[in-house]
Chain A
Amino acid sequence: MRRLIAILTLACLCRSAPAAGIVRVVTRDPAGTPVADAVASLTLVGSPEALTVPKEPVAIVQRDQEFSPYVTAVVVGTRVVFPNRDTVQHHVYSVSAAKKFEIPLYIGDAAETIVFDRPGVVTLGCNIHDWMVAYVVVLSTPHFAKTDSGGSADLTSLPPGRYRLEVWHPRLSAKVDRELTVAEHDDTTQVISVTLRPDRRIRRAPDAGGADYR
């Protein structure tokens, strides 16, 4: 009898929470080279999903006068800390519309935690070291992942439904936005061809003269 109840319960559970799907997004440039640091996100069309904000803040570290990681994807409401692991002070700022802030010169753990409370892309900089740059992609969907060095990002635990797939990268030349349907037990791969602009960053290497600073 107990066994029968257990089987019936399991059957009910399966009906109320259909099996999740997986979408693997693979980004490549036109030459077929994998594109790392792209953020792939899936947003359920029509019905907004509840977001779970991580309890612990996400860390974007400053080390060897660079931000790490270069690209961070978070859900709206995530707290981010900026520990400085250098022996030189940094002055972290953003002038992006999605989050404007400044943490004036500090070393070690900054007292301030920044809450990214609006969706959008936030460009981070250091007001002392102009070459330092990083991006925070703030999303209003729980389904996102960043591509690895192989250009691959796995979006798992997807309830069946119709989704809008978006891909963002700091050097993306044209918006990537398409719709797809995820069915129960789906395990599909979306290969996205992206065209990237040249990697133009403010030069870090020293110069023989001029008002150079570090």
Chain B
Amino acid sequence: MAAKKPAAKPNISKEELLDHYREMLLIRRFEEKAGQLYGMGVIGGFCHLYIGQEAVVVGLEATAKDGDQRITSYRDHGHMLASGMDPKGVMAELAGRKDGYSKGKGGSMHMFSAEKNFYGGHGIVGAQVPLGAGLGFANRYRGNDNVSFAYFGDGAANQGQVYETFNMASLWKLPVVFVIENNQYAMGTAMKRSTSTPDIYTRGQAFGIPGEAVDGMDVLAVKAAGEKAVAHARAGNGPYILEMKTYRYRGHSMSDPAKYRSREEVQKVRQEKDPIDHVRDLLVGGKHATEDELKTIDKEIKAVVNESAKFAQDSPEPDISELWTDIYAEVS
């Protein structure tokens, strides 16, 4: 999982480290709660947890500015929280309730926030890649300096539309950062069983798109690489590919028998590479925070997550009239 070229450790402040810690922990605890609510039947359908991958979205969101957009797959709860969406609204959507971001009509895989420039949660593997480039296209068209982040998996990286998009994004110099979240598995398929060459970040070469592999378990490395990629795209130089080497701890969705990898493999990553433990060690080791201070943060986060779960369960189901709304926009 080590990155090809570890990014130099930027000079990082205590505040920044604490921010990363809080955001990653919020995602972790939120996802654990979502898993629990799924088991209780509060959440239904598919539910893809982001546990293990927290450093990727938290590190990259630290490089975004107002106006930048993001779009991703169905494994989207972490992206929503990191983009500043309210955990209450996200959890309520997971439960299919009225106060969810999509009024309960979207669910775990399909949530959006116009306010936070979060363009969803997409269920068709690879679809978000051209869509993300389209967001970049709009930025270029309007002549602003916003950048779009298009997140997709190692499995999605084989879809044909990805390469059609790479060609056009490079040809038209679209300000897009393509973020490949390589968690090494697409459902039960280990990457080497689906992918002819292992270094996905090199796949832009044929189209003239620079790419880089990054230790996606190290939020600081992610942020450093993200800054470089974003600067490139924002300056009008076209797209950039970041391959984040990461790992998902849980099953693909909730119903995953997980026979394709050993428990030991998962345990090893958890013990040696955990992105939250990593920042925790930096905080405590660098004497930026005491165990007690971190415990207080843990408590705060738990409270936020519990509150979101309560809010979701207290929120009513959508009114049945909502079945027939939002199919067409009003013609003005």
On whether the two chains bind one another, the answer is: no
